[in-house]
Amino acid sequence: MKIAISGKGGVGKTTLAALLAQAYADAGRNVLAADADPSPCLAGALGFPAELRAKLSPISEMDELIEERTGAKPGTRGGFFTINPRVDDIPDRFSVLYRGVHLLEMGSVDIGGSGCICPESAMLKTLFTHLLFRKDDVLILDMYAGVEHLGRATVDFVDAMIIVVEPTRRSLGTAAQIKELAQHIGLTRLWLVGNKVRNEDEISFLKAGTPDIPVLGFLEANLLVQEADRLGIAVYDHVPALRQSAEVMAEALDQQIAARN
Ligand SMILES: Nc1ncnc2c1ncn2[C@@H]1O[C@H](COP(=O)(O)OP(=O)(O)OP(=O)(O)O)[C@@H](O)[C@H]1O
Ligand SMILES: [Mg+2]
């Protein structure tokens, strides 16, 4: 099962990615979580201890590896390099395991509209495609807004794209844009998650404003989320209400995906 998480900046993508990853891992699933944020923070949200975080480093910053695999130094433009470097060993070699979640930091992926063709983008693009082809039990991609990482060739492998929103018009606007981009590349398996909701009114606001995407569930606004971050522990452990909501969502998503297949 491949799940991509997107949405406007700051809405709670990473928080949801961490909650779902841990929920599936605790349910006995084998989980690979890929952090595609230019400044990775999924490890923090998952409560990875410092010694394990020290072992993580974004693939996009592994200059030697990128040069070895593509045949060109990162940062170079033009010249020859392979556009489909070998990446099959990377998830196992560079992911770090904690409490059933294998975490891989991808780093910055500048493969979108800018049309960047460089060794590091070739590496990341190939790696993304590889992750989607791999037979992982559960893959969770923490993306940023947009669907740049997903090419037409790979969308068939995405079982669910979750768009996170908070009770604001702007985040709903971004959701509508993401939906449109997704449809352009043929990705239709979309779900909405409303985060940071404080009351029924906000839930109604989100339900009324969704760009016609089925709602998977809601996560309440809870100050303990920030406290977990300050304490360096997993939201999943520190905020029982969110853990419970995430468990329900994880199961519902599983069933809904199975029903569609
Ligand atoms: N349910 C919640 N209740 C309260 N605060 C929350 C909740 N979910 C997330 N936050 C807070 O909102 C901020 C953004 O959350 P998070 O990092 O998960 O969002 P994001 O969408 O991944 O952000 P970015 O776009 O920067 O990657 C964080 O400070 C987090 O602690
Ligand atoms: Mg994030």
Average pLDDT over residues 65-91: 88
- 112-116, 172-176, 196-200, 253-257: which has the minimum mean pLDDT? 112-116
163: tokens are 């768009």
Asked if the structure places residue 66 within a domain, the reply is no
Asked if the structure places residue 86 within a domain, the reply is no
- In percent, how much of the chain has pLDDT > 90? 70
- 35-44, 51-60, 95-104, 196-205: which has the minimum mean pLDDT? 35-44
SS3 78: coil
Q: What is the pLDDT of residue 40?
A: 87
The model's pLDDT over 176-226, given as tens digits with 9 standing for 90+, comes to 999 998 888 888 899 999 999 999 999 999 999 999 999 999 999 999 999
Asked if the structure places residue 93 within a domain, the reply is no
Asked if the structure places residue 83 within a domain, the reply is no
Q: What residue numbers bound the domain in which 168 lies? A: 2-56+98-109+135-260
| Comparison of pLDDT for 110 and 143, the residue scoring more | 143
Query: If pLDDT is split at 50, 70 and 90, which confidence band does 31 have?
Result: very high
91: tokens are 């998830």
* 12 touches ligand 1 (CB under 6 Å): yes
Q: pTM for this structure?
A: 0.94
Ligand nearest to the Cα of 7, by number: 1
The model's pLDDT over 135-161, given as tens digits with 9 standing for 90+, comes to 878 999 998 655 666 666 677 788 999
Q: Is the pLDDT of residue 114 over 60?
A: no
Dist. CA 155–CA 260, nearest whole Å: 15
Q: What is the pLDDT of residue 56?
A: 96
Asked if the structure places residue 253 within a domain, the reply is yes
Expressed in angstroms and rounded, the spacing between residue 11 Cα and the centre of ligand 1 is: 5
Asked if the structure places residue 73 within a domain, the reply is no
Task: Name which residue sits closest to atom 23 of ligand 1, judged by CA.
Answer: 10
Q: What is the pLDDT of residue 79?
A: 75
| Comparison of pLDDT for 96 and 40, the residue scoring more | 96
Query: If pLDDT is split at 50, 70 and 90, which confidence band does 113 have?
Result: very low
178-184's contacts with Cβ under 8 Å and 24+ in sequence apart are 178/6, 178/7, 178/145, 178/146, 178/147, 179/211, 179/212, 179/213, 181/146, 181/147, 182/147, 182/155
H-assigned helices in the chain: 13-26, 42-45, 50-53, 63-70, 90-94, 119-133, 169-184, 200-209, 224-231, 235-238, 240-260
Residues paired with residue 3 on neighbouring β-strands, in sequence order: 140, 160
Asked if the structure places residue 202 within a domain, the reply is yes
Q: What is the pLDDT of residue 152?
A: 67
CB of 96 closer than 8 Å to CB of 103 = yes
* 221 touches ligand 1 (CB under 6 Å): yes
CATH of residue 15's domain is: 3.40.50.300
Among 5, 6, 8, 14, the mutation site with the greatest number of ligand 1 atoms within 8 A of its Cβ is 14
Asked if the structure places residue 7 within a domain, the reply is yes
Average pLDDT over residues 50-67: 94
Q: Which residues are found with C-beta within 5 Å of the ion, ligand 2?
A: 13-14, 37
Count of domains observed in the chain: 1
SS3 15: helix
Residue 9's Cβ-side half-sphere holds a number of Cα atoms within 13 Å equal to 3
